[in-house]
Chains A and B, each alone.
Chain A
């Protein structure tokens, strides 16, 4: 009908791709947004944590200040949770006759893209903050005046996750499923 007219001249792969339900794409997008964000946060936390624990043996004073690095990594996971919750409120049911409408496909792809944006932006942000946090702990243990300066680098690093969240939310805001007409 309308969908087969649209893809009348495309190859078999394009036809297979648009036959995948948009709900699949949306659900995978939500899964990626939380799953990959948590991966990034966990990666960053263990990179920082192992260096912090080792360095704190000789210099116990660094522990309380350097927990900020761990908190920045954790924030990345929280961004992922927030966006996943927002995305799942965008999932609506459409009647089965309209599932493969272009508007439905658009909504499904928008949620998928939003999930990927947030997930991978948070992955690299978590890694970045984790590696800087590890160097920050080791430098602070040797020379305490370095802590604040390296913290500024970490703040710039954690802004990357925020960029991802902003763009992801904008993407998902225009994910509108077709309204229920007959």
Chain B
């Protein structure tokens, strides 16, 4: 019953909630980012990061450092924390934590299938996969020729199997179909996750509904903007939108017929939470849209920590860490390519 989670949540979830809040305290602050932005070389970045919790992960790296190494080690820290929480979780928290990684699984599947299409080596692709989304038999994806085989050979044994019912066709895999497959899978995943959170009820349902609705709406806008000018028909575009969120159903109908960014902006400005995002951009500009969305997402994720005794803190922590790794990657790339003036284009401060 909503409002009385405090009575029984701590039986199974109290310890892990306290641990995840401890992890949250070690996220990098604005002061850390300012120090990092003033670094001249990647070794300086390594030195600054060794004073934070990333120290043990980076200290053994040899001196000619690459940005990919930094990102890989930071991701490894996130994976270690996640696995430690997952092995101590009981139902339904363990299912909830597994749901958080299905997005990465979808990304990995698409990465390998696209890479195979472009004749890349499977081992090289496996190294680029996100570690949170790995599953056994992922390498077999390289063998599949069309979607039906993809499903039958590999995906039927993974947690992604139920998401495939909408996109099994006998068509061969090409770039367009793969993108459509990615978005269809992600739509099914978001809806499934939403239903699972609703079933959990209470504070978890309320907080996660808000976070997932924002995610669904953001994906709808991105799909719309990316498919302007491509061959994707309006009906196909509409099929890729999730069936929940602020924009459902009237916003989706308007987005499906939008043909340029100003029309999209016109649709979004009817919704007050998104109007504040779009008001930061001037007309005709879409480069800063990503950053504006990330900032809004970070603001909502930080708010999830204001309430105790719900599972939303786990989701919020994972997303904030991923944002931090994106920040570190951007800073490292700017430093490595000597373009420090552009550093603040894409760094989103968390605190």
Q: What is the interface of chain A, defined by CB distance below 8 A to chain B? A: 43, 46-47, 50-55, 57-59, 127, 131, 134-135, 137-138, 141-142
Given contacts A47-B10, A55-B19, 5 further A-B contacts (CB under 8 A): A47-B7, A54-B21, A54-B22, A55-B21, A59-B25
Q: How near does chain B come to A24, taking the closest CB pair, in angstroms? A: 31
Bound together, the chains give a CA A50 to CA B14 distance in angstroms of 5
B178 an interface residue at 8 Å Cβ cutoff? no
State whether B25 touches A47 (Cβ < 8 A): no
* Contacts known (A50-B15, A54-B14); A141 close to B6, Cβ less than 8 A: no
Contact with A along B195-223 (1 / 0, CB 8 A): 00000000000000000000000000000
* Contacts known (A134-B308, A135-B308); A51 close to B22, Cβ less than 8 A: no
Bound together, the chains give a CA A98 to CA B10 distance in angstroms of 51
* Contacts known (A58-B23, A131-B6, A142-B25); A137 close to B11, Cβ less than 8 A: no
* Residue from B16, B22, B308 having most chain A Cβ neighbours under 10 A: B22
Q: What is the interface of chain B, defined by CB distance below 8 A to chain A? A: 6-7, 10-11, 14-19, 21-23, 25-26, 308
Pick from B7, B16, B21, B26: contact of A138, CB below 8 A: B21
State whether B7 touches A52 (Cβ < 8 A): no
State whether A54 touches B308 (Cβ < 8 A): no
Pick from B18, B21, B25: contact of A53, CB below 8 A: B18
State whether A141 touches B10 (Cβ < 8 A): no
Bound together, the chains give a CA A52 to CA B26 distance in angstroms of 18
A-B contact count (CB 8 A): 61
Residues in A neighbouring B22, C-beta threshold 8 A: 54-55, 57-59, 141
State whether B6 touches A47 (Cβ < 8 A): yes
Bound together, the chains give a CA A105 to CA B14 distance in angstroms of 46
Closest residue of chain A to B7 (Cβ to Cβ) is A127
> 13 A-B pairs, CB-CB below 8 angstroms?
A43-B7, A47-B14, A52-B18, A54-B14, A54-B21, A55-B18, A57-B19, A58-B25, A59-B25, A127-B7, A138-B21, A141-B22, A142-B25
Closest residue of chain B to A138 (Cβ to Cβ) is B21
Q: How near does chain A come to B17, taking the closest CB pair, in angstroms? A: 7
Residues in A neighbouring B308, C-beta threshold 8 A: 134-135, 138
Sorted nearest first, the 3 A-B pairs with minimum C-beta distance are A54-B18, A58-B22, A50-B14
Bound together, the chains give a CA A134 to CA B307 distance in angstroms of 12
Bound together, the chains give a CA A51 to CA B308 distance in angstroms of 11
State whether B25 touches A51 (Cβ < 8 A): no
Residues in A neighbouring B15, C-beta threshold 8 A: 50-51, 53-54
Closest residue of chain B to A128 (Cβ to Cβ) is B6
Q: How near does chain B come to A18, taking the closest CB pair, in angstroms? A: 37
Closest residue of chain A to B9 (Cβ to Cβ) is A47
State whether B21 touches A142 (Cβ < 8 A): yes
Bound together, the chains give a CA A58 to CA B22 distance in angstroms of 6
Bound together, the chains give a CA A58 to CA B7 distance in angstroms of 25
Residues in A neighbouring B19, C-beta threshold 8 A: 54-55, 57-58
Residues in B neighbouring A131, C-beta threshold 8 A: 6-7
State whether A141 touches B14 (Cβ < 8 A): no
* Residue from B18, B21, B26 having most chain A Cβ neighbours under 10 A: B18
Residues in B neighbouring A57, C-beta threshold 8 A: 18-19, 22
* Contacts known (A57-B19, A127-B7, A131-B6); A51 close to B14, Cβ less than 8 A: yes
